[in-house]
Structure 1
């Protein structure tokens, strides 16, 4: 807004000419998306008011007759010294304050009424004895320091904020008092000036990190318990109690805990172990290292989990075990799987690496089969910077697992310290501000060449016999201490992740070109990954990245395609189809504001996508 006396032809100008007071006016919407530096006129002298303006009247109240805007910091696309203004018909013109609420003598009534203060980030009301302002046309630039006399930064009214029903409610008389003000700040804080532009890029990964991790590490160090100490058994017992079993045994990795279980079950050498074709390659490789034969069954493309019908078809006289993987945080159909496994007495070992906290008909995953294993790597539901655990229904089997784990050597301090440093670095580089300035530009450049630099983040696919040295060691005390504290936060983390998943469901579930995650009745998803089917995966991933959302394409492997490890295998078309899904960020540290921003951007990218019908999905299979 350039402040100049309004011509008499305007409504406000005629009222002033007749001697009436100009009405308070709502300042217009700002589009801060374009750069105006090159086009703006020369600045006025610093501190000087614009021409034809008289000074402000003496301050009679703390706001000088103005409800001042609170422009949130951190808007990368908005230069707050040289805002651009647009006069558009879509400006919300609702009254935000009664005419008698602005007094020339008394303090503004809004100061004492929360419902009138709640929307100050969205609107600005000008005292009646300040000259009316003339709106510029679309695209006009505001010169430097040409403003409403000595007021703060020029008024900012983003249409998306005015359209916020919560903000509208605050003007019509929302919650009064401190709680109302806090609610308003939460609704309006950190919004984009124009949602198509990105403030900071969002990393696909968000490790769960305790605020007091450094203090926990230092306490262990001070007591001389960084490697060995009592927290290991405390953690094992606390984990078992949470899951609902008698005991647990910690290990250096979840995959190593699985290896211990395979040996503790005393399965006949060369026996066949059925696994889903869609799983992390190290799981079937551990089967091979244990002297057994991995056999792959197809998955249900809706749930990404082992298809009970495919499992039953894969059973032969040599089948000794099955490994139902609760992939991405959703439990398998354990009722059907247990019924099928019971007939030929096939051992059931549940892979719970992604799913600590998930339930099937009220029971924790891991409590249905003969045994189960969990992972505590950096990105897992419980992050202890590495490690894993095994549980078993038969105490004798668990005792054999413990004997193997306790026969391993302790790691040295240097290795453990490096592990903690690496975990801290992963957390730092996944923060939006850091990610935006580091990995995000690299991903954008790689996108131009259709390269995949993210593949270097994962462990190289290779034979694991003999196992690496880091596998053959014990779980250290400091990581157990972190795990103990993390268990206390697990429910809160899971609740936050589920809330973010609901935001995605609400925004995307109704789009014809999208298939959101399917959660069968009786299953409680923990959303280690939020998996989405879209018509053109690669194009969508590129467009999402350009809009600041780093999207995962495949978190696990189609193991039937890994011929270097497992030889030629029959195709598993549903696993191949499931590998075409994308995973959106919904992790706990994302926060509601960023989750809603991601949902809006993804919805905009997919709202015109062609319908994705069940027949179309299955035709690719």
Structure 2
């Protein structure tokens, strides 16, 4: 089994000084409350170019806060891309709105105005434009469409923190930008999320909602922080090779599942039992956010460079298609290979045997899920990408470029190309 040169499926990105910050917060008893709670929204808003920012305990609660602050009529339709993280439309459904799904581009996995416009009706209250996998959707064109139709535009920036379109930050085009700082994103803050808006009415309602919600408990925050820091440690390539990789190889040898998280139906069955309460961001999360802001642009550029190296060295490979980049500012929070579904697991297992742990995606074709089978007419085109064809490779800058070249060569070798 490989010990050196292993690559985890996902590396948690915590900047230098994180452990010191965590210890300092405990010693100074500033885990829940402190000055960072005011400073981070201000600094994050300046970075985005948006006047109002509100921190939350997670990206999911940020979306819930957004919907409650929009003050839409109950029963209003919200248009989502069909291929997305299914918890997002589930939040809307649980709050009394009707998710309506539009097709997406089969190569970029993003929805554009040509997909969204046919789904607009007199009941449409909002559109959620998603920048999936780190590639911006055609947000300028979508913004023109929604403005012309008098519809609220929301931006799901969970995969797109730091993405710029013509010099303007993702999250600054719509009425609200929604961000996630979870461990699997490019700017984790021991969990956390945020909404950004230039609309003073939405900001006023969001501020009122948050003023009535208590901060999360210190023990809960510290428990989450300890868990994420541990995952950061385990996803350092050398430590990964000595620990989790050995478990994965054993599971592969025994024919057991490879530690994949719950997705699709299983994920929604767990989530649908109870709508999470809105919680504000804790001071520790905000303080880590301030630290992340010093490094995120450099981090994104490192991931972008690694992705270029991988793509350039892959070339053309049978049964495999690297992500198609239509816009230059792709930050590659995830690098999704599209693989013939009949061969995807074989490629995944081949890579794992050679030290490379690849990941199946958390994204789902929501039109196929039982929780959303409430429309009599289901006319999504069959070009909607299926999660069974995707395999995500980590391209974060902690992994050297020589490993990107090695991964490309392994994939070519698997496909029978010298």
Q: TM-score, normalised by structure 2?
A: 0.91
1:495 corresponding residue in structure 2: 301
Residues 525-558 of structure 1, C-alpha deviations (whole Å, 9 max, x = no match): 0000112223322221121112111111213222
Q: 2:315 aligns with which of 509, 515, 535?
A: 509
2:354 corresponding residue in structure 1: 547
Tell me which of the two structures has the higher relative contact order, counting C-alpha pairs closer than 8 angstroms and 6 or more residues apart.
Answer: 2
| 572-581 or 587-596, larger mean C-alpha shift | 572-581
Matched, 1:596 2:405: yes
CA shift at 1:560, angstroms? 1.4
Residues 42-81 of structure 1, C-alpha deviations (whole Å, 9 max, x = no match): xxxxxxxxxxxxxxxxxxxxxxxxxxxxxxxxxx8xxxxx
CA contact (8 A) 1:513 1:607 kept: no
Give me the whole-angstrom Cα distance separating, in 1, the residues matched to 2:132 and 2:194: 17
2:274 corresponding residue in structure 1: 466
CA contact (8 A) 1:297 1:306 kept: yes
CA contact (8 A) 2:110 2:131 kept: yes
Q: 1:269 aligns with which of 74, 83, 88?
A: 74
CA contact (8 A) 1:206 1:587 kept: yes
CA contact (8 A) 1:509 1:515 kept: no
Name which one, 1 or 2, has greater alpha-carbon Rg.
1
SS of match in other structure, 2:29: coil
Structure 1 residues 326 and 450: alpha-carbon distance in aligned structure 2, compared to 1, 3 A threshold = farther
| 370-379 or 561-570, larger mean C-alpha shift | 561-570
Structure 1 residues 439 and 276: alpha-carbon distance in aligned structure 2, compared to 1, 3 A threshold = same
Give me the whole-angstrom Cα distance separating, in 1, the residues matched to 2:256 and 2:312: 33
1:209 corresponding residue in structure 2: 14
1:172 corresponding residue in structure 2: none
Residues 566-599 of structure 1, C-alpha deviations (whole Å, 9 max, x = no match): 5465555233446512211101222333333323
Query: Which has the larger share of strand?
Result: 2
Matched, 1:424 2:226: no
Q: 1:335 aligns with which of 116, 120, 140?
A: 140
Q: 2:344 aligns with which of 528, 531, 537?
A: 537
Structure 1 residues 336 and 293: alpha-carbon distance in aligned structure 2, compared to 1, 3 A threshold = same
CA contact (8 A) 2:356 2:407 kept: yes
Q: 1:410 aligns with which of 202, 215, 223?
A: 215
Q: 2:329 aligns with which of 524, 543, 554?
A: 524
CA contact (8 A) 1:513 1:608 kept: no
Give me the whole-angstrom Cα distance separating, in 1, the residues matched to 2:188 and 2:79: 28
1:374 corresponding residue in structure 2: 179
Residues 419-474 of structure 1, C-alpha deviations (whole Å, 9 max, x = no match): 11100111122222332333323333443565434334678323446323xx4322
Structure 1 residues 448 and 566: alpha-carbon distance in aligned structure 2, compared to 1, 3 A threshold = farther
Query: Which ranges in structure 1 are unaligned for 5 or more consecutive residues?
Result: 1-75, 77-196, 610-621
Give me the whole-angstrom Cα distance separating, in 2, the residues matched to 1:589 and 1:501: 13
Query: Which has the larger share of helix?
Result: 2
CA contact (8 A) 2:134 2:331 kept: yes
Structure 1 residues 572 and 384: alpha-carbon distance in aligned structure 2, compared to 1, 3 A threshold = farther
CA contact (8 A) 1:507 1:603 kept: no
Structure 1 residues 576 and 498: alpha-carbon distance in aligned structure 2, compared to 1, 3 A threshold = closer
CA contact (8 A) 2:159 2:333 kept: yes
Give me the whole-angstrom Cα distance separating, in 2, the residues matched to 1:399 and 1:509: 51
CA shift at 1:601, angstroms? 2.0
CA shift at 1:370, angstroms? 1.2
Query: Which ranges in structure 2 are unaligned for 5 or more consecutive residues?
Result: none
Q: 2:396 aligns with which of 562, 582, 587?
A: 587
Query: Aligned residues, how many?
Result: 411
Give me the whole-angstrom Cα distance separating, in 2, the residues matched to 1:292 and 1:490: 35
CA contact (8 A) 1:301 1:577 kept: no
CA contact (8 A) 1:560 1:572 kept: no
Q: TM-score, normalised by structure 1?
A: 0.63
Give me the whole-angstrom Cα distance separating, in 2, the residues matched to 1:450 and 1:279: 29
